[in-house]
């Protein structure tokens, strides 16, 4: 499909996607805008936004320890993911569909569809404090990735940053604050987006039944072992 075709399809933003961007726009970026009336929390389930620091550390593959994932409860135990997370997963699924990425590993070239009117340039730099960053430079986006990271970590960072591009495009033109780019909660959503796009639910379930091996799964999906571990726990598979 031509670039124009894709944009035309996307210009008609589905209702659920508008719902997602409206939450992101009205929130402060730091905590979930639905936190106070979250049904999952009412049922005693856990909100990933309460465990953000933990989750972020877990994704650091250099610190990988399988037991540090024990605290994560599967979403099946608390009636599925919260609404905002559900919508982020739908967004990831939509991107996979538009980019015709049906099998793992998801190609990194998919990031092109996140903004077809502007070039998305990827630069590898010796970053110190972060794994990645995103800049809007004149007519292009620049995604910076930490040079020393493994290729699997870079892939995760790439899709994390790509989520910020989408959020920026969908929220900033309408709402003047830059809430879509900053804040702990938005970082969590970006991680969730990267998780869902690189490790689509059905694909993970299908492959896990066949291989039942973390290393092999990390290879198939070309993601850090820590990310696979997190996803499998989230889906209640381990």
- Sites of contact with Zn ion (CB under 5 A): 187, 190
Task: Report in angstroms how near the CB of residue 197 gets to Zn ion at its nearest.
Answer: 14
Residues 6+ apart with CB under 8 A from 38: 32, 47, 82, 83
Which residue number, 29 or 104, has a Cβ lying nearer to Zn ion? 29
Which residue number, 75 or 191, has a Cβ lying nearer to Zn ion? 191
Which residue number, 113 or 143, has a Cβ lying nearer to Zn ion? 143
Task: Report in angstroms how near the CB of residue 162 gets to Zn ion at its nearest.
Answer: 10
Task: Report in angstroms how near the CB of residue 220 gets to Zn ion at its nearest.
Answer: 26
Angle among Cα 141, 230, 89 to the nearest 5 degrees reads 50
Sheet holding 140-146, edge to edge: 119-125, 140-146, 132-137
Q: What is the b/e burial string over 158-194, where b = at least 16 CB atoms within 10 angstroms of the residue's CB?
A: bbbbbbbbbbbbbbbeeeeeebbbebebbbbbbbbbb
Determine how β-strand 140-146 pairs with β-strand 119-125: parallel
Distance of alpha carbon 191 from alpha carbon 188, whole angstroms: 5
Handedness of CA 95, 99, 101, 107 (dihedral sign): negative
Which residue number, 75 or 187, has a Cβ lying nearer to Zn ion? 187
Which residue number, 55 or 217, has a Cβ lying nearer to Zn ion? 55
Task: Report in angstroms how near the CB of residue 160 gets to Zn ion at its nearest.
Answer: 6
Task: Report in angstroms how near the CB of residue 163 gets to Zn ion at its nearest.
Answer: 8
Which residue number, 189 or 204, has a Cβ lying nearer to Zn ion? 189
Task: Report in angstroms how near the CB of residue 21 gets to Zn ion at its nearest.
Answer: 17
Distance of alpha carbon 232 from alpha carbon 85, whole angstroms: 16
């Amino acid at each position: 499909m031509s670039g124009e075709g894709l944009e035309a399809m996307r210009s008609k933003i589905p209702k659920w996607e508008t719902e997602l961007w409206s939450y992101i726009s009205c929130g402060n970026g730091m905590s979930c805008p639905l936190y106070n009336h979250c049904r999952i929390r009412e049922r005693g389930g856990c909100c990933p936004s309460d465990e953000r620091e933990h989750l972020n550390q877990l994704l650091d593959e250099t610190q990988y320890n399988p037991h540090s994932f024990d605290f994560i409860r599967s979403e099946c135990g608390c009636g599925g993911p919260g609404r905002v997370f559900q919508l982020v997963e739908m967004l990831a699924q939509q991107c996979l569909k538009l980019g015709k990425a049906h099998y793992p590993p998801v190609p990194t070239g998919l990031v092109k569809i996140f903004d077809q009117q502007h070039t998305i340039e990827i630069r590898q730099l010796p970053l110190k404090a972060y794994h990645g960053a995103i800049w809007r430079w004149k007519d292009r986006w620049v995604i910076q990735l930490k040079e020393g990271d493994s290729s699997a970590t870079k892939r995760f960072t790439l899709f994390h940053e790509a989520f910020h591009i989408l959020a920026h495009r969908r929220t900033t033109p309408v709402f003047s604050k830059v809430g879509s780019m900053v804040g702990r909660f938005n970082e969590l959503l970006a991680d969730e987006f990267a998780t869902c796009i690189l490790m689509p639910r059905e694909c993970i379930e299908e492959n896990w039944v066949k291989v039942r091996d973390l290393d092999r799964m990390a290879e198939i999906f070309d993601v850090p072992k820590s990310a696979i571990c997190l996803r499998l726990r989230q889906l209640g598979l381990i």
